Structure 1
């Protein structure tokens, strides 16, 4: 390795360490104080405010990086593995288990993020975008499970039952994985009952 390559590698490692320290500071401040304030994050990470913006561009960029870190720790790649399963019921089970793993990665932080989403527009925007991805995944699963018939409400049900609030409430003081049998049981009951749209009262089926 040439001296130039060594120096470039050393600088990259320093940048990566600074970036990771800022993300950790964001997480800790959020859990401890329930806020995402760039000035406070910079102080906690022992960097300048300009460094935070240099690394992440905007507060939204910082929030996205925090969510990406949560996703990595929650092994979110298991969702793609679930969708690759040939059987729709196996895919659903894999999706539910993957969401349980993701939500369980750092419940204190995720709980704070979801609570703050209603009060902070930038947090709300980031959470809404990620919820939309999950909603689209739920819709795909519903289409596979319902065979194209009555899948719309089944998609809503999958989306709702794989949300953080459901796993957090069912797990209580245990692990989010403990909620998987209950969530799958509820979904299996809905699927066994036939097309979800047809099971709704006439006045609500088209709402």
Structure 2
């Protein structure tokens, strides 16, 4: 009769898990601070030094600089309320939903000065470029879905969505925020978006 060996189970102590989580948050916070000084400052070596950990620890936690960047984006999105975009997009009135999303995006972009510099980094850093492209695609999809709910010609809805996507962007925000508050920029962008909707006879 064959006796089966007891199944072995990996065990991770709560203390070890807590320590790993604390290190992860320390690395994200360090990367976030460096990002505020400009994307070029956010090397894996610099992040490790700022967080007080080894570079190997950073790679183990995030896999790559791109993985770390995604974690920083996600942490800021959660803290800045950007995760509410989907919720706002479901408001019954699509025009009201669009304006609410513009308000939130401007507040979010204005809360982190490093974000407005990312588009410059995209020209010289493929990892930043890919991360930005993915987020831009999500924003474009958000506007496309919102305008698809409006009454009007299908081509007009797509044209208006493309125009609003181009208008409500970090490069435009960066230009307008130079001598304005985030709320003032949002007011300007909502006014321009409304003009686009009206010009394309969408309601």
1:41 and 1:142 mapped to 2: Cα distance? 41
Residue 74 (structure 1) shift: 1.7
Task: Give 2:199's aligned residue.
Answer: 193
Superposed displacement of residue 82, structure 1: 1.3
**Residue 164 of structure 2: aligned partner:** 158
* 5+ long unaligned stretches in structure 2: 1-11
SS at match of 1:145: coil
Give unmatched runs, 5+ long, in structure 1: 1-6, 197-207
Q: Report the alpha carbon displacement of residue 86 of structure 1 after superposing the two structures with TM.
A: 0.9
CA contact (8 A) 1:104 1:177 kept: no
How many angstroms apart in 2 are the aligned matches of 1:169 and 1:146?
Answer: 32
Q: Which residue of 1 aligns with 2:59?
A: 53
Contact 1:142 1:158 in 2 (8 A): no
Taking structure 2 as the reference length, what is the TM-score of the superposition? 0.85
Aligned pairs for 1:48-127 within 5 A: 48-106=54-112, 108-127=113-132
How many residue pairs get matched?
A: 189
| d(CA) in 2 for partners of 1:143, 1:162 | 18
Which of 134, 138, 157 lines up with 1:133 in the alignment?
Answer: 138
Task: Select 2:147's aligned residue among 111, 121, 142.
Answer: 142
Deviation at 1:194, TM superposition (A): 2.8
Give 1:185 shift. Answer: 0.8
Q: Which moved more, 1:173-182 or 1:128-137?
A: 173-182
Q: Is the 8 A contact 1:73 1:105 kept in 2?
A: no
Shift of residue 195 of structure 1?
4.5
In 1, Cα distance between equivalents of 2:18 and 2:45: 24
Provide the C-alpha distance between the structure 1 equivalents of 2:102 and 2:37, rounded to a whole number of angstroms.
29
Deviation at 1:81, TM superposition (A): 1.9
TM-align CA RMSD = 1.9
CA contact (8 A) 1:29 1:41 kept: yes
User: Which structure 1 residue ranges, 4+ long, deviate > 4 Å from structure 2?
Assistant: none
**Residue aligned with 1:167, SS:** helix
TM-score, structure 1 normalization: 0.83
Q: Using the TM superposition, give the Cα deviation of residue 33 of structure 1 relative to its aligned residue in structure 2, in angstroms.
A: 5.4
